Amino acid sequence: MITQNDDRDQIVDLYADMVWRIALSRTRKEEAAEEVFQETFLRLFQKERTFNDENHRKAWIIRATLLCCRSYISASFRHATLSLEEVSGSLAIPEEKAGLYEAMLKLPAKYRLPIQLYYIEGMDADTCAKALELRPGTFRARLSRGRVLLRELLKGEDIYV
């Protein structure tokens, strides 16, 4: 069993990049991602939680991040948007992957998030499905459809999916 008494700084260091990427991917605004980032870890540390293993903690953090994003986005007074250039400029994305990142932002969220969790975060399909509260078959179908859409968006570029 893993408890929340583990070193909090170590937990934040371990999951900070993942939470930031998910938050920025969903909110598309750096300020919003910062707020979601803080809220996610605040929720994690507010209560004493016990996790079965590190994968359980990771799935909880992903789910909490998604819920924080949903709460942030649903707030009616925060519907201002940034251009893709502003979002891309705030990230340290290698130039050769900028086209892939821009194409991923064009995907609907229901396809973008499975691709992000599976390929970028390196999670296995069953863990991703649980984190997104989907059946494993539904997750795999969205992953497959997302890859097809991504391939179509990247036709003619030197990026392989």
Q: What is the pLDDT of residue 96?
A: 62
Domain boundaries, the chain: 1-91, 93-161
Higher pLDDT, 160 or 133: 133
Q: What is the pLDDT of residue 72?
A: 87
CATH T-level fold of 93-161: Arc Repressor Mutant, subunit A (1.10.10)
- pLDDT, one tens digit per residue, over 38-88 is 999 999 999 888 899 999 999 999 999 999 998 888 774 445 555 545 555
What angle do helix axes 30-46 and 54-74 make, rounded to 10 degrees? Answer: 130
User: For residue 29, is it left (φ>0), alpha (ψ between -120 and 50) or beta?
Assistant: beta
Q: Report residue 53: phi and psi, to 5°.
A: -160, 180
**What confidence category does residue 95 fall into, taking pLDDT thresholds of 50, 70 and 90?**
low
- pLDDT, one tens digit per residue, over 7-32 is 889 999 999 999 999 999 888 889 99
- Please state the pTM of the whole predicted model: 0.61
